[in-house]
């Protein structure tokens, strides 16, 4: 049998965790799927799947082969698209990830614009405040905030953000504006674990940073909640500059201790390395790159 066909069957069975499910997905008969898997294992000389009457699971060798097979099949699709020409219409499914609030505020408008332009594409938007493994979770494009580790991914710089301290004008009128980071000991502190689980805030340049250990009056697990508490005048919160941009513009929040801020953090669009540029991925990256680079809140 054709090796690419065998890979396709193996990927389908592995992802469905079922021979019947894989057969249904591919429009094949279960016996044909069983023969294809047996043929592949014979050719490779290794067991790829654990089979019982209740489930199908990939072996350790099977997991490595599954990762490679997915990559190879994806590159075949991308090669076909490249051969069809750069003007081939984007089609298929695109999966995008970004931090929760950044995704809501900056990525989602781009996704909507992209879908309106490309009727043959569907999108899954995964907004999480954690770094997603793009290969393991099938992510096509990610927006990452912060310095990137070395990897096989391609990264495009699109902007900068800062960690800032903010409070409502009412709170500052009642409690005074802190002049030095050490003055925070006299203030009511709101800690958002979405930014950092620590209650030790870092200040100053990378060359000579210093920390201030604080005891929060309120600790929350989401940035939205910290913003709301600060807007309502409870205290001072530390958040990303983009997260509070609308409230700064409306006069509902004010930045304090700006002269002690850390260096800005870069924003990158990250996508998986590929010899060919998938039309759906390439066109989305072009659109979201232009939109983010043009946004005044990310400069």
Of the candidates 254, 250, 240, the one whose C-alpha atom is nearest the C-alpha of residue 297 is 240
Instruction: State which residues form the domain around 203.
Output: 163-260
What would the pLDDT profile of 214-253 be if each residue is shown by its tens digit? 999 999 988 999 999 999 999 999 999 999 999 999 999 9
Residue 23, token pair as written in the block? 């057969």
From 112, 144, 139, 145, select the one nearest 126 (Cα to Cα): 139
* Rounded Cα gap, residues 230 and 172, in angstroms: 11
Residue 210 has pLDDT above 80, yes or no: yes
The more confidently predicted of residues 110 and 60 is 110
Q: Which of 26, 58, 83 is the last residue of a domain?
A: 83
Q: Are residues 249 and 190 in the same domain?
A: yes
Count of C-beta atoms within a 10 Å radius of residue 123? 18
Q: Please state the pTM of the whole predicted model.
A: 0.70
Intra-chain end-to-end CA distance of the chain, in Å = 54
Q: How many domains does the chain have?
A: 3
Instruction: Give the end of a domain, one of 83, 107, 134.
Output: 83
Reported in sequence order, the residue ranges of the chain that DSSP labels E, i.e. its strands, are 49-51, 56-58, 92-98, 121-127, 141-145, 154-161, 163-167, 189-192, 200-203, 210-213, 218-220, 236-240, 254-256, 265-271
CATH number at residue 271: 3.40.190.10
Q: What pLDDT does residue 230 have?
A: 98
Read off the CATH number of the domain in which 63 is found: 1.10.10.10
| 279 and 149 housed in the same domain | yes
CA-CA distance, 83 to 277, in Å (whole number)? 11
Percent of the chain residues past pLDDT 70, beyond the cut:
92
Residue 85 reports pLDDT greater than 80:
no
Q: Does 65 lie in the same domain as 19?
A: yes
Asked if residue 167 and residue 145 are part of one domain, the reply reads no
């Amino acid at each position: 049998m054709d090796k690419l066909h065998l890979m396709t069957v193996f990927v389908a069975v592995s992802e469905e965790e079922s021979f019947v499910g894989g057969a249904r997905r591919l429009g094949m008969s279960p016996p044909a799927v069983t023969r294809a898997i047996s043929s592949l294992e014979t050719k490779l000389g290794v067991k790829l799947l654990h089979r019982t009457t209740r489930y199908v699971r990939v072996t350790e060798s099977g997991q490595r082969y599954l990762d490679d097979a997915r990559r190879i099949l994806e590159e075949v699709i991308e090669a076909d698209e490249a051969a069809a020409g750069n003007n081939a219409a984007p089609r298929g499914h695109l999966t995008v990830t970004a931090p929760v609030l950044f995704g809501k505020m900056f990525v989602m408008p781009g996704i909507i614009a992209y879908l309106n332009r490309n009727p043959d594409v569907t999108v899954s938007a995964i907004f999480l405040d954690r770094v997603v493994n793009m290969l393991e979770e099938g992510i096509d494009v990610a927006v990452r905030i912060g310095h990137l580790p070395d990897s096989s991914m391609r990264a495009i710089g699109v902007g900068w953000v800062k960690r800032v301290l903010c409070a409502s004008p009412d709170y500052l009128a009642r409690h005074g504006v802190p002049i030095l980071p050490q003055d925070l000991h006299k203030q009511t502190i709101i800690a958002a674990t979405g930014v950092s689980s620590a209650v030790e805030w870092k200040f100053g340049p990378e060359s000579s940073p210093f920390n201030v250990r604080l005891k929060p009056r309120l600790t929350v697990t989401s940035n939205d909640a910290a913003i709301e508490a600060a807007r309502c005048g409870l205290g001072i919160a530390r958040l990303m500059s983009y997260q509070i941009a609308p409230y700064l513009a409306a006069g509902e929040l004010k930045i304090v201790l700006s002269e002690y801020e850390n260096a800005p953090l870069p924003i990158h669009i990250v996508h998986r390395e590929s010899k060919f540029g998938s039309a759906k991925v390439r066109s989305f990256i072009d659109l979201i790159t232009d939109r983010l680079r043009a946004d005044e809140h990310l400069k």
